[in-house]
Chains A and B, each alone.
Chain A
Amino acid sequence: GQNIDQPTEMTATEGAIVQINCTYQTSGFNGLFWYQQHAGEAPTFLSYNVLDGLEEKGRFSSFLSRSKGYSYLLLKELQMKDSASYLCAVRGGAAGNKLTFGGGTRVLVKP
């Protein structure tokens, strides 16, 4: 099976940096995704990591360490619109293509 852990909630100030950690255990790892979900809306794709290291995409970066079963999403220069839930999702499982989501981290950006 798959087990994915991330903090429930984080608060940060506008303009600051926030790091959301995700740890996972899975049989058959085929990549880790980060999604953003605003309340009442669909999840939207942010990033994908399958090899160790850092992927940077504008204000958002994602890091993966496969040996540690660990990833983080880094949000820089926080804006009020970044207040949302951030979901870590792991692709794996017996068939290899099952995408399972962690519980999500609610980020609240304060002025």
Chain B
Amino acid sequence: DTEVTQTPKHLVMGMTNKKSLKCEQHMGHRAMYWYKQKAKKPPELMFVYSYEKLSINESVPSRFSPECPNSSLLNLHLHALQPEDSALYLCASSRGPDYNSPLHFGNGTRLTVT
């Protein structure tokens, strides 16, 4: 069982919808991440939060909006997505932004944009 919990597990949304993905961890980790993974491809980094502050944005389109309300929670707000945004969205956390701290992944939200 993963200690990073993501909801929902599956999400189908239209291109005009607004939805949010949620991620929660209670390991006391201070760095949290959003990755996007297409089928048979590796995870691609989207955002990194370090001590609740956005530290990396990998030039992600503004239709994806991250939010870190507190050290345990990470949200990804979705608006006006395109069909090519359909993918598995993985949340991860690590002890901190320190280099030897491995990332612990949630099971992901499988998103389909119709």
Contacts and interface: CB of A to CB of B under 8 A. Distances in A.
Interface stretch (B13-21, B39-47, B59-67, B78-86): B39-47
Contacts of A98: 45, 48, 56
Contact of B100 (A31, A44, A101, A103): A31
Contact of A45 (B33, B90, B98, B103): B103
A38 B42 CA distance: 12
B108 A42 contact: yes
Contacts, number: 54
Contact of A48 (B42, B48, B102, B104): B102
A91 B99 CA distance: 7
Nearest to B105: A42
A30 to B, nearest CB: 4
B43 to A, nearest CB: 5
A44 B99 contact: no
Given A42-B108, A101-B42, A101-B44, 18 more contacts: A30-B99, A31-B100, A33-B102, A42-B2, A42-B90, A42-B106, A50-B99, A50-B100, A95-B56, A97-B31, A97-B48, A97-B50, A97-B55, A97-B56, A97-B99, A98-B48, A100-B45, A103-B42
Interface of B: 2, 4, 31, 33, 41-45, 48, 50, 55-56, 90, 97-100, 102-108
- Shortest Cβ-Cβ A-B pairs, 6 listed: A101-B42, A30-B99, A42-B105, A45-B102, A97-B97, A42-B107
5 contacts: A43-B43, A45-B104, A50-B99, A97-B56, A99-B103
